[in-house]
Amino acid sequence: MGFALGPPFHFGVEGPGGWWILDEPELHFGQNVLVPDLAGWRRERMPDPPREHIVSIVPDWICEVTSPSIEAFQRQDDQWRLNIYGDDAIVRIAPFEAIEINLTLFWGPLPT
């Protein structure tokens, strides 16, 4: 999933940019430590990327890849909204609707 989101959102290649997308960041909130598969921060909220793997700023987006599906949590109005996507879907995952992601590339047979 990081391969799909990184170029257009983290680097701004053929996409809008404006995000930091990190693989398995270590999120520290008081005594709670969470390590999601992916997390994203809007650069307007976190202007600089973290210098280490430990982050204490609440992400704007979290993704858990739970084969054969994807659970994407989006932060809205200080709450998390869950979306679940199946293994054969072609999706535009909020807030990354600018690109389509074909989930069969992750779990289906590879194109020949």
**What are phi and psi for residue 107, nearest 5 degrees?**
-125, -20
8 CA to centre of own chain = 12
pLDDT at position 110: 64
pLDDT at position 108: 67
pLDDT tens by residue, 81-106: 888 888 778 888 888 999 998 888 87
The percentage of residues in the chain with a pLDDT greater than 70, rounded to a whole number, is: 96
Rounded Cα gap, residues 66 and 80, in angstroms: 18
pTM > 0.85: yes or no = no
**What are phi and psi for residue 67, nearest 5 degrees?**
-45, 130
Q: How many CB atoms lie within 10 A of CB 30?
A: 6
- Check pLDDT > 90 for residue 27: yes
Structure confidence at residue 76 as a pLDDT band (50, 70, 90):
confident
Q: Which two tokens stand for residue 29?
A: 């909130």
- Check pLDDT > 80 for residue 109: no
Contact, 85 vs 70, CB < 8 A?
A: yes
